[in-house]
A and B are shown apart, each in its own frame.
Chain A
């Protein structure tokens, strides 16, 4: 009998327009205090934000690596202009782990190892096997992919590690239009970086005032906060090696430590939910994507 490996925890790339100081403080705390094995960082959503945070990443990488964490550079999900495409090509050749979020990057990476990010449309075993042949060693499935599909793919492509999106507002859509700019009567080109006002995204409600979505520049996220409270046993059975926690202004050290306790069996699913709900989350809990249902719903998951 082989000993089952400990389920790891990863911190996903931050989707939001945080300041340099916010980022540096955030990653310093993650380095020192969080039960996190791996950290994805880098600007993923908007290339216009890149010049402001360029100085953050080398410092954060050094700090996180010193504390023994694996650091992965996550890359832009929708490169549009020449400057962004050039940056991607440079990143493809960095001598560090990277996460690919757009097919643009695949040729430049030239079969060197990478993580296939949740923005790539990988929905089945043949697509993942295809990427595996071209260097994918880990995969974070698109958030709408049900757990039974992930389980089938894991069984058929065991050579790729699977990392499940497990905490945070769900990344639902990308556009070429900036909804932050539009909501404030601005255009994308003259956006004044107004998305910095909403470090967890801009709340979007329905006509009857029900919370629904969150806008973050060109990205649309869920209002609700996805929590995949799947036990370590269940994750092992499903072929999942790691959970991904997506950064928010909530106390992410407390979030990650609660997940660690849950995976180690010190908390049950209800206790995990209760602990998380005490942490000023950006929205109510949801998880029904895992069962192939409407993502905003909260349903009971098998233990």
Chain B
């Protein structure tokens, strides 16, 4: 992964307006984030926001401190990439009109452990899950075949081991 890559994970109360408060703060403080995802957790009423950004330590520290001040943010921490599992998913629709190209694409999909989730006469739609490096590498290859459309989820992440459980 690129240098200065940071994953920030925030447990927040599942209430209307919380995501807005978080994104509003990010905009106001001029933080530049790469991805942001939100979803439920094992605990009712608690959601997890995962965001990723590039920047030096002081910017990350400031982002974490500022986000901590939002009363709906229950807990926030930076997840060290080396001590965490993190995944992103992409759905990529590629041009695949002749059989040679199709089989080439299938080979790559196998190598990257992707999945074909839809096919048409002229295209293949691939689902690929993994860390952002892997996905980016795959996208680079697919560019050569012609990407028609693409959607990415942004990163979700958890710390390894027992740490980080919601109290």
Do A and B come from the same complex?
Answer: no
